[in-house]
Amino acid sequence: MEIVTGVHQIRLPFPQDAPEYTNVYVIEGSDGNVLVDSGWDSSESLWAFREGLLEDRLKFQDINWIIVTHIHPDHCGLASKLRELCEAKVAVHRIEAGLIEARYTDFDGLLNDLEGELRENGVPQTGLPELKEASLWMRQFASPGLPDVTVSGGDRFSTGQLEFEVLQTPGHSPGHICLYERRKRWLFSGDHVLFETTPHVGLHPQSGDNPLRDYINSLGMLEQLQVGFVFPGHGPVFNGLKLRAAEILAYHERRERTIMKVLNDGLKTAYEVATEIPWKPDIGGVAFTDLGPWDKRLALFETIAHLRLLTLDGKLGRIERDGVSQFLAKE
C-alpha cells in the first residue's frame, strides 16, 4: 500500500509460517523507482511481492534499483530473483558485499570460525552442534548473489524528486546502511531502529570487533538528524526516533548492569553469563535453556558483544584458560 505519497510498503512473510514480516518499500521517482530491501527467498514471499505491486498498480519492470540495507537473509534473500524479474540493479554497502560469499556460497570457513568462537566462549561440547548449525536451515531461503554496485556512507542518489543520502550505521551488521531524505525528513532504517523490537547486536565472525560500541555510536549519529517518519525493516512505520533510540539505549544499559551483577560472584565465561540472565524481556523474560537454538545463539552473541564493550571500556577483565575466555568485574 502507498503509505505516503510515492512510497509503497509491501510486507513479505517469513518462511515456515513464522509470524513476522519484512517490510520492503518501493520509492517512486521520475528518474527511476527504488526498492529498499527484498525479503526471504520463498515462493510465498515472491507472491506477496507480486500481489503488493499489483495492488498499487506497479509492475516488476517499474523497479530500477534494489538497495539492500544489509545482507541478512530476511533483507537480501530474494534480491537476485527480483533483479532478474525487474531487470534492476542491486546495490549494497561494500562491507556487506564482502561478506556475502562466506555466508551464502562457500561457508565452511565461516562455520569453523563460528565453532571456534563458541568454544572460546565456553559452550559445552554437548551444546556445540546445536548452536553451530542453528542457522543452516536459512540458506534454502536466501540466494542473494553479488551486487551490481557497492555504496559507501555519504553516497547520494536521486530519484528525480527525492535526494537520498546513504548513512553507514554499523552495529546490527558491519555495513548496515540507512537511507535518509533530508527535505522530507524520511529515514529508511532497515534493522538499525525498529519500533517494537530491540535490534539484535551480537559479536560473531561476521560482525565488527566492537559492534555494540558501533551500534551506540551510529544511533547517536542518527539522533543528530531531523527525522520525521521512520520506515523500518520490520513492524510499524513510526515517528519519534529520538524517543525510540533512548529506549533502545536504556535496554542496553539495563543489560550491562545485569551482566555486571552476574559477574559479581566469580569468573564466568560468556556462555555462563548468558545462561544466568533473562532473555526476551519484551515478553516478560525467558530463561536461556527455554530458547530455541537460533535464539540461544543470538543471546550468546549479544552477551559476547556486551562483554567486549565492557572489557574495552575497562569495566571487565578477560583471562584465558585452556583456550576459553573468562571474565571478571573490575569494579
Nearer to Zn ion, 147 or 233 (CB): 233
- Least gap, CB of 82 to Zn ion (angstroms): 17
Q: Name the segment binding Zn ion (CB under 5 A); options: 1-9, 67-75, 93-101, 220-228.
A: 67-75
Helix axes 211-223, 293-312, angle to 10 degrees: 80
Q: Which helix (H) or strand (E) holds 188?
A: strand 186-190
Interacting positions 74-93 with Zn ion (CB under 5 A)? 74
- Least gap, CB of 215 to Zn ion (angstroms): 12
Distances (CA, A) of 60 to 2, 12, 45, 54, 106: 16, 15, 14, 9, 30
37 near Zn ion, judged by CB under 5 A: no
Shortest-Cβ-distance residue relative to Zn ion: 72
Residue 296 is placed in which grid cell?
540461544
Q: Name the segment binding Zn ion (CB under 5 A); options: 50-58, 66-74, 214-222, 292-300.
A: 66-74
Please tell me the count of residues contacting Zn ion according to CB under 5 A. 4
What is the β-pairing status of strands 316-321 and 230-232?
unpaired
- Could you tell me how many helices (H) and strands (E) the chain has, helices first? 11, 14
**Is there a contact between 212 and 306 (Cβ–Cβ < 8 Å)?**
yes
Query: Percentage helix, strand, coil, to 5, in the chain?
Result: 40, 20, 35
Q: Name the segment binding Zn ion (CB under 5 A); options: 184-192, 239-247, 249-257, 267-275.
A: 184-192
Q: Name the segment binding Zn ion (CB under 5 A); options: 6-14, 70-78, 249-257, 322-330.
A: 70-78
191 near Zn ion, judged by CB under 5 A: yes
28 φ/ψ angles, rounded to the nearest 5 degrees: -80, 145
**Is there a contact between 259 and 278 (Cβ–Cβ < 8 Å)?**
no
Cell 556486551 sits at which residue?
306
Nearer to Zn ion, 96 or 191 (CB): 191
Nearer to Zn ion, 241 or 263 (CB): 241
Classify 306 as helix, strand or coil.
helix
- Least gap, CB of 310 to Zn ion (angstroms): 24
The residues that bridge with 91 in the sheet, in sequence order, are 67, 149
72 near Zn ion, judged by CB under 5 A: yes
Nearer to Zn ion, 122 or 199 (CB): 199
Instruction: Draw the binding track, 233-262, toward Zn ion (x: CB under 5 A; -: no contact).
Output: x-----------------------------
Q: Name the segment binding Zn ion (CB under 5 A); options: 151-159, 189-197, 260-268, 289-297.
A: 189-197
- Least gap, CB of 132 to Zn ion (angstroms): 20
Classify 328 as helix, strand or coil.
strand
Residue 82 is placed in which grid cell?
527480483
**Residues of this chain that bind Zn ion (CB under 5 A):** 72, 74, 191, 233
